[in-house]
Structures are given as C-alpha cells and as structure tokens.
Structure 1
Amino acid sequence: MKKKLVLLSLLAVSGLYAQKKTFNNPLLPGGADPYSTYHNGYYYYTHTLGDKLMLWKTKNLADLKNAESTLVWTPPAGTAWSKEIWAPEFHFINNKWYAYFAADDGNNNNHRMYVLENTSEDPFKGKWEFKGKIAAPIDRWAIDGNVFTLNNQLYMIWSGWEGDTNTQQNIYIAKMSNPWTIEGNRVLLSQPTHNWEKQGDLDDAVNPPHVNVNEGPQFLQHGKDVFIIYSASGCWTDFYALGMLRLTGTDPMVPQNWTKSEKPVFAKSEENGVYAPGHNSFFKSADGKEDWILFHANDNPGEGCGNKRSPRMQKISWNADGTPNLGTPVSNKQTLQIPSE
C-alpha cells in the first residue's frame, strides 16, 4: 500500500510537471498591449491598466497567472500624466531600468510619452523616479513609445499625429541622446496607405473619428535584418492587424530605407476564434534559441478596445528571405509547448 501511494504521488508530481511544459492562450483573462523584458533569468511583464504601472516577474511567461507582481507607480492627481496610462514598456538600459508609457490629463488630445528611472538592478526594488516627458522639438500627440539600440545608437519609435488634430496616426522615429531625451527632430516612417490600415467605423461616435491608424511599433532584429512590426486600423474593429517595415538601407532615419509590407503579416483568424490581434511585442526563449510574439486579441467578433482583450503568445519562425513568419493566431483550444529553457 505504501509503495502504491508513493507511486501515485510521483505520478501526480510528474503530471503537474508535464502540465507546466504546455499552455493554452490566453495567458490572462485580460490585458492589452503586453510587453516583456528578460533579465537575470526572469521575464518582467506589463500591460495597460489605465491608472497605474504594474510589473509581473516570472521564469515562465506561460505561467503568468501565478507570477509575482508589484505596483511600480501611481501617478499624482491633477497632472498632465494622471490618466489614460497606455502601453507601458520596461527596458534595462545602461544598467538602469526605464519605464516608458503614454498618459494624459483625461483629454486624449493631450496624450504624450513619459518615462521613469530606477537605478536598482532589480526592478522590484529601488525607487522609481519620474524623469518627465519625452518629446521631439515638434511636441505633438504621441503614444506607444518603443526604444531600441542599433549600431550603438539609441532610438525611439512611436505613433503620433502630424499636427494638433486627430486625422490619422503615423509611425515616427527619432534619435535619443540618453534614455529620457529625444535628440533632434522626428522623422516620419510610415502612414496608413493600404486599405487594411484604414478599417473602422466613421459613424461610431464612441470611438475616435478616424480610421487611418499606424500604432504600436515594435523593433525586431534577426541577425543583420531589421524590422518594425506595427498595428494598423482601428483597434475597435475586428480588422486590427499587424504590418511590417523592413530596413533595406543602413540608416534607419532615412524613410526611403524602409519598405512596407503590401499585406498584413498577422491578422484575425475566424477559424481559430481570434479577432483583432495586435499591439504586440517580441521576446526570446530563456535559452535564446526561439523567437516568440506576445500580443493581445479578442475571443469574439465585435469586442472592441475594451477589457476583453487578453494577452497571448506563440512561437514565430523565419522565412528564407529573412523576414519573420508570424503565422496565424492559434486557437485557445490548441495546446502549445512553453518556450525552450
């Protein structure tokens, strides 16, 4: 009897262990604009909460629901950055942590990008200092900032308006002199030109009165190949999808050095029950051998930009021409292997 109990215990443990090696999407019931950073053996994950910045810590993003979490920052009331805190990202740059996010005073027309700094190597420790607004000399509406280093130069890419009114959202790039300062003027890299970048409902008074959207840009590098993956069309539509810019020259500040994909590189799958996939980020497996996409999507049509958007992830591959193959959003019913360790 004793041997039988021991055997059953071992089977139970092995069963739990096997379960941890697989997962199903979504990773959480809700969470838009997911982003993660891998540092010292842990993934540090965040998503849009609207009124604060939270950070999750885990060795396995597939087990995000059991991750340790901490409240990083709550904005002071009555400031230009008190409300509508969107698309946060945490980056480890020059041995310091930086939290980038967009925020406003309750009026979307006033959205700008801001940054916090923490000198501790562990982002769960130390003090987060508000460094202020990040803006180009032409200080226009801006959201979805993403920073990256290419050839020893730090850059920021983001989604912004050309002027002071909401006619369309474009993708801009600028050099940075340090992690909290843009150096020089912004450069326009992409604006909505294809029909799949212009899907929306002009008659819907609840949503922004435009359908021309390029937003959520994310830097992606594979060897010598450099890309920006971005979200297009209104997030309130099922047609929200990902597009791609490929760097074909050497200087990313030259618009002619970028080539846009003619079709979406990642879009809804009615067959798999995944709608409006977008605002993604990328991460590598712990052993550095696999590339993964982290994104949000809805389970049903017509669920829009609200709290039904949930974070998901799946492995990506690479085409013979060097471009990323993001595949098709997988069904929540499909069991996936966790990232390699």
Structure 2
Amino acid sequence: MRRKLLLLALFVFAGMFAQKKTFTNPLLPSGADPYSTYHNGYYYYTHTLGDKLILWKTKNLADLKNAESKVIWTPPAGTEYSKEIWAPEFHIINNKWYVYFAADGGSNNQHRMYVLENKSEDPFKGSWEFKGKIAAAPDRWAIDGNVFTYNNQLYMIWSGWEGTTNGQQNIYIAKMANPWTLGSQRVVISQPTYNWEKQGDLDDPVNPPHVNVNEGPQFLQHGKDVFIVFSSSGCWTDFYSLGLLQLTGPDLLNPQNWKKHPDPIFVKSEANGVYAPGHNSFFKSPDGKEDWILFHANDNPGEGCGNKRSPRMQKIEWNKDGTPNLKIPVSNKEVLPIPTE
C-alpha cells in the first residue's frame, strides 16, 4: 500500500513538472500591448492598464499568472499625462531602466509619449523619476514608442499623425540624443497604402472615424537583416493584423531604405478562434536559441479594442530569404512547449 502511495505521489509530481514545461494561450485573462525585457535571468513584463504602470517579474513568461508584480508608477492627477496610459515598454539603456508610454489628459487628441527613469539595477527597487515628454518637431499626436540601438545609435519609432487632426496613423523614426530626448527631425517610413491597412467601420460612432492605421511598431533584427513589424487597420476590427518593413540600405532615416511587404505576415485565424492579433513585441528564450512573439488577440469576433484582448505567445521561425515567419495564431486549446531554457 505504501509503495502504491509513493508511486502515485511520484506520478502526480511528474505530472506537475510536465505541466510546467508546457502552456496554453492566453497567458492572462486580459492585457493589451504586451511587452517584456529579459534581465539577469528574469523576464520583466508589462501591458496597457490605462491608469497606472505595473511590472511583472518571472523566469517563465508562460507562468505570468503566478508572477510577482508591482505598481511602479501612478500618474499625478490633472496633468497632460494622467489618463489613457497606453503601450508601456521597459528598456535597459546605459545600465539604467527606462519606461516609455503614451498618455493624455483626458482627450485622445492630446496623446504624446513620455518616459521615466530608474537608476537601480532592480526595477522593483529604487525610484522612478519622470523625465518628461518625448516630442518630435513638429510636436504632434504620438503613441506606441519603441526604442532600439542600431550601429551604436539609439533610435525611436512610433505611430503618429502628420497634422493636428485624426486623419491617419503613420510610422515615424528619429535618432535619439539621449534616452529621453529626440536628436533629429521625425521621418515617416510607412503610411497605410494597402487594403489590409485600411480596414474599419466608418459608421461606428464610438471609434475614431479613420481606418488608415499603422501603429505599434517593433524593431526586429536577425543576423544582418533588420525589420520593423507593425500593426495595421482599426484595432476595433477583426482585421487588425501585422505588417512588415524591411531595411534595404544603411540609413534608417531614409524612407527609400524601408521596403514594405505587400501582404500582412500575421492575421486572424477563424479556424483557431483567434481574432484581431496585433500590437506585438518579440523576445528570445532564456538560452537565446529561440525567437518568440508576444501579442494580444480576442477569442471571439467583434470584441474590439476593450479589455477582452489577452496576451499570447508563440515561437516564430525564419524563412530562407531571412524574413520572419510568424505562422498563424495558435488555438487556445493547443498545448505548447515553453521557451527552451
């Protein structure tokens, strides 16, 4: 009897261990615009919460629901950045932590990008100093800032308006003089041109009246190949998807050096029950051998841009021509192995 109980305990333990090596999407019940940073053996994860910035800490992104978390910043009331805090990203630059986010004072027309700095090696410790607004010239509506280093130069890419009214969202790029200041004029490197970048419902009184959307740009490098993956069409539609820009020349500020691929690279899968996949980021497995995508999506059609969007992740591959192969969004029923350790 004792032997049977011991075998049963070992079987249960083995099952628990095996379960930890696999996962199913979504990672959390809700969470748009997911982003993670890997540092000293831990993933530091965040997503849009609207009224605050929260950081999660875990060794395994597939186990986010059990991760340690902390509110690291709540905006002061009555400022231009008190409300609608969107798409935060945490970065380590020159051994300091920075968080970039978009926010406004209560009107979407006021959206601009802002940055905080923390000099502590541990982002859960130290203090987060508000460094201010990151504004281009001219200073226009801006969201979804992503910061990266290429050839020892710091850059920012983001989604913004050309003018002062809500007409269409383009992808812009500029050099940075330091982690909180742009050091060049903004340059537009992508505008909505294909039908898959213009899907939306002009008759919807709740959502903005434009459908020409390029947003959520993310830098991606594989060997010598450089890409920007971006989200397209209205997030309130099931046609929200990912497009691809590819660098073809040495100067990132030359729009002619960015080639847009004619078809989206990641779209909804009705067969798998995944709708409006978009606003992604990328990360590597702990051993550095695998490339993964983090993205949000809905489980059902017509769920729009609200809190039903949930974070998911899946492994990506690379095509023979060097471009990323994101495949199709996997079903919530599909059991996946965790990133290799």
TM-score by length of 2: 0.99
SS in 2 for 1:185: coil
Aligned to 2:333: 333
Aligned to 1:147: 147
Does residue 204 in structure 1 map to residue 204 in structure 2? yes
Counterparts of 1:34 and 1:249, CA distance in 2: 30
Distance in 2 of aligned mates of 1:258 and 1:144: 19
| Secondary structure class of the residue paired with 1:13 | helix
Distance (whole Å) between structure 2 residues aligned to residue 2 and residue 273 of structure 1: 46
1:4 Cα offset (Å): 2.4
Cα-to-partner distance string for 1:159-183 (whole Å, 9 max, x where unaligned): 0000000000000000001111100
- Distance between the aligned counterparts of 1:232 and 1:333, measured in 2? 27
Larger mean Cα displacement after TM superposition, 278-287 or 128-137: 128-137
Paired letter, 1:153? Q
CA separation in 2, counterparts of 1:280 and 1:247? 19
Q: Distance in 1 between matches of 2:34 and 2:331?
A: 18
Number of paired residues?
Answer: 341
1:118-174 Cα offsets, whole Å, 9 max, x none, are 001111111000000001121000000000000000000000000000000000000
SS in 1 for 2:62: helix
- Indicate the residue corresponding to 1:306 in structure 2: 306
Q: Please give the alpha-carbon distance, in whole angstroms, between the structure 2 residues aligned to 1:223 and 1:72.
A: 35
The secondary structure found in structure 2 opposite 1:137 is coil
Find the counterpart in structure 2 of residue 317 from structure 1: 317
Does the alignment pair 1:48 with 2:48? yes
Gaps of 5+ in 2: none
The alpha-carbon deviation at position 13 of structure 1 amounts to 1.1
Per the alignment, residue 218 of structure 1 pairs with 218
Runs of 4+ in structure 1 off by over 3 angstroms are: none
Match of 1:182 in 2: 182
Residue 288 (structure 1) aligned with residue 322 (structure 2): no
Structure 1 letter corresponding to 2:288: G
Residue in 1 aligned with 2:256? 256
One-letter code of the match for 1:270? Answer: E
| Matches for 1:72-151 after TM superposition, within 5 Å | 72-151=72-151
Deviation string 1:69-125 (CA, Å, 9 cap, x unpaired) is 000100000000000000000001110000000000000000000000000111111
1:15 aligned onto 2:15 = yes
One-letter amino acid of the structure 2 residue matched with residue 58 of structure 1: T
Q: Counterpart amino acid of 1:315?
A: K
Provide the residue aligned with 1:38 in structure 2: 38
CA distance in 2, matches of 1:120, 1:16: 36
The CA distance in 2 between the partners of 1:184 and 1:21, in whole Å, is 46
Name the residue aligned to 1:246.
Answer: 246
Q: Report the alpha carbon displacement of residue 12 of structure 1 after superposing the two structures with TM.
A: 1.2
Q: What is the distance in 2 between the residues matched to 1:166 and 1:136?
A: 17
Q: 2: distance between equivalents of 1:99 and 1:175?
A: 18
How far is 1:7 from its partner?
A: 2.0
Displacement of 1:184 in angstroms is 1.7
| Distance in structure 1 (CA, Å) of the matches to 2:31 and 2:196 | 24
Residue of structure 2 equivalent to 1:192: 192
1:243-290 deviations in whole A, cap 9, x for unaligned?
Answer: 000001111111000100101000000111000000000000000000
- What's the counterpart of residue 67 of structure 1? 67
Quote the Cα distance in structure 2 between the aligned partners of 1:64 and 1:319: 30
Distance in 2 separating the partners of 1:287 and 1:251: 32
Q: Give the CA RMSD over aligned residues.
A: 0.6
Q: Distance in 1 between matches of 2:28 and 2:227?
A: 28
What secondary structure is seen at the aligned counterpart in 2 of 1:132? strand
SS state at 2:184 partner: strand
Quote how far apart the aligned CAs of 1:228 are.
Answer: 0.1
Q: Percent identity?
A: 81
**AA at the equivalent of 2:106:** G
Distance in 2, matches of 1:98 and 1:329, equals: 31
Give the whole-Å Cα distance in 1 for the aligned partners of 2:67 and 2:209: 38
Counterpart position of 1:161: 161
Distance in 1, matches of 2:337 and 2:17, equals 13
Deviates more, 1:2-11 or 1:326-335: 2-11
Which residue identity lines up with residue 249 of structure 1 in the other structure?
G
Q: Following TM superposition, by how much is the alpha carbon of 1:9 offset from its aligned partner in structure 2, in angstroms? A: 1.6
**Structure 1 regions of 5+ residues with no counterpart?**
none
Deviations 1:212-237 (A, max 9, x none): 00000000000000000000000000
Distance 1:287 1:150 in 2: 23
Q: Distance in 2 between matches of 1:211 and 1:53?
A: 29
